[in-house]
């Protein structure tokens, strides 16, 4: 029998039962893919992260991510949760860990302050796809429950990615954002054609000067009708805003806070930083808090 140490952690918040919950198995060495998939299904979070010992000299460990139904290459909130759990488990000081993921080796910074931790995740390289044709755009807008005049005209509808792609859809109203009731089966079907599983609807309609955007993220094609607070949406959003010259940058960087989860009462906040060279995003990082909901041991 193997004893697995498992955490459940809410990311992008310091308040339990808010933010985005993720499972973390901190001692996953020896687990088979089928076992990881079963554990992720049992925990039933949108993602569960599995931490392994390093398999080469160029990294400090290996991290893999599973939804209840499939493995995904990278995940923002589960990274925050995994590094937070590791920091607690190993009583780490401030440090940078180079973790091997399915999209390469990425540096994750652990910041220790007042006997607690924040985590900074450096994301993968930024990619932005062309805008969609009119027919695909109409299908997407209809499936999301939007009308054409809801769309923020300064925001082209495009796929943005730092390793796990999302469609960016800017709209005018936060009220409309929170009223959305998408047709999930239509979104899942459309995902097959656009080769992208996530739809990130966001707005600049904020009543808080410290919050630039509010958003909601839907990914029914991978079993996540709505994700509470999404690192791999808010990070790419930063690159998208820079590349499309939608918001001003200062000193060759864009820094902002994005908020998500308001409608489903799991509010969380992500800090995003984009470094810019020649009007292009060259480095994207997200930073977040986390809080432990429970720690347990299971035997398999």
The pLDDT tens digits for 164-201 are 999 999 999 999 999 999 999 999 999 999 999 999 99
User: For the whole model, what pTM was predicted?
Assistant: 0.95
Hey, which residues does 298 pair with through a beta bridge? 4
Residue-level pLDDT at 121: 97
Give me the pLDDT at residue 106, please: 96
Q: Give the burial string for 252-278 (b: 16+ CB within 10 Å, else e).
A: eebbbbbbbbbbeebbbbbbbbbbbee
Taking all residues of the chain, what is their mean pLDDT, rounded to a whole number? 97
Q: Give 212-251 pLDDT, tens digit per residue.
A: 999 999 999 998 999 999 999 999 999 999 999 999 999 9
pLDDT of residue 252: 97
Q: Give the whole-angstrom CA distance, residue 63 versus residue 50.
A: 6
255 is catalytic: no
pLDDT band at 100 (very low <50, low <70, confident <90, very high): very high
Percent of the chain exceeding pLDDT 90 equals: 99
Give the pair of three-digit tokens for residue 7: 């955490």
Beta-bridged to residue 272, according to DSSP, are 256, 286
**Which tens digit of pLDDT belongs to each residue from 36-60?**
999 999 999 999 999 999 999 999 9
pLDDT of the residue at 47: 95
Cα separation, 284 vs 299, in Å, equals 38
Share above pLDDT 70 across residues of the chain, in percent, rounded to a whole number: 100
Distances from the Cα of 235 to the Cαs of 26, 126, 218, 283, in angstroms?
A: 25, 9, 16, 10
Structure confidence by residue, pLDDT tens digits, 104-127: 999 999 999 999 999 999 999 999
User: Integer distance in angstroms from the first to the last C-alpha of the chain?
Assistant: 5
Q: Which of 15, 35, 47, 189 is catalytic?
A: 47
For residue 82, the model assigns a pLDDT of 98
CA separation for the pair 6, 12 (Å, rounded): 19
Which position has the token pair 């999302």? 166
């Amino acid at each position: 029998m193997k004893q697995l140490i498992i955490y459940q952690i809410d990311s992008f918040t310091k308040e339990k039962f808010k933010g985005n919950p993720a499972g973390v198995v901190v001692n996953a060495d020896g687990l088979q893919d089928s076992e990881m998939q079963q554990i992720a299904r049992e925990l039933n979070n949108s993602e569960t992260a599995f931490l392994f010992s390093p398999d080469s000299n160029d990294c400090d460990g290996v991290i893999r991510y599973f939804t209840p139904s499939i493995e995904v290459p990278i995940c923002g909130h589960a990274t925050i949760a995994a590094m937070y759990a590791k920091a607690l488990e190993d009583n780490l000081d401030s440090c940078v860990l180079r973790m091997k993921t399915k999209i390469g080796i990425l540096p994750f910074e652990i910041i220790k302050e007042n006997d607690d931790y924040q985590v900074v995740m450096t994301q993968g390289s930024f990619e932005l796809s062309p805008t969609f044709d009119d027919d695909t755009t109409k299908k997407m807008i209809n499936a999301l429950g939007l009308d054409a005049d809801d769309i923020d005209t300064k925001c082209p509808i495009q796929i943005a990615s730092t390793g796990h792609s999302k469609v960016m859809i800017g709209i005018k109203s936060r009220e409309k954002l929170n009223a959305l009731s998408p047709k999930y089966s239509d979104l899942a079907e459309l995902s097959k054609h656009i080769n992208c599983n996530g739809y990130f609807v966001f707005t600049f309609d904020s009543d808080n000067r410290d919050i630039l955007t509010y958003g909601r993220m839907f990914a029914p094609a991978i079993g996540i009708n709505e994700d509470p607070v999404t690192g791999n949406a808010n990070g790419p959003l930063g690159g998208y805003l820079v590349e499309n010259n939608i918001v001003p940058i200062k000193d060759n960087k864009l820094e902002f806070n994005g908020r998500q989860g308001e409608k489903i009462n799991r509010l969380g906040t992500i800090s995003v930083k984009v470094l810019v060279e020649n009007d292009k995003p060259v480095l994207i990082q997200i930073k977040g808090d986390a809080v432990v909901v429970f720690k347990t041991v299971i035997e398999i």
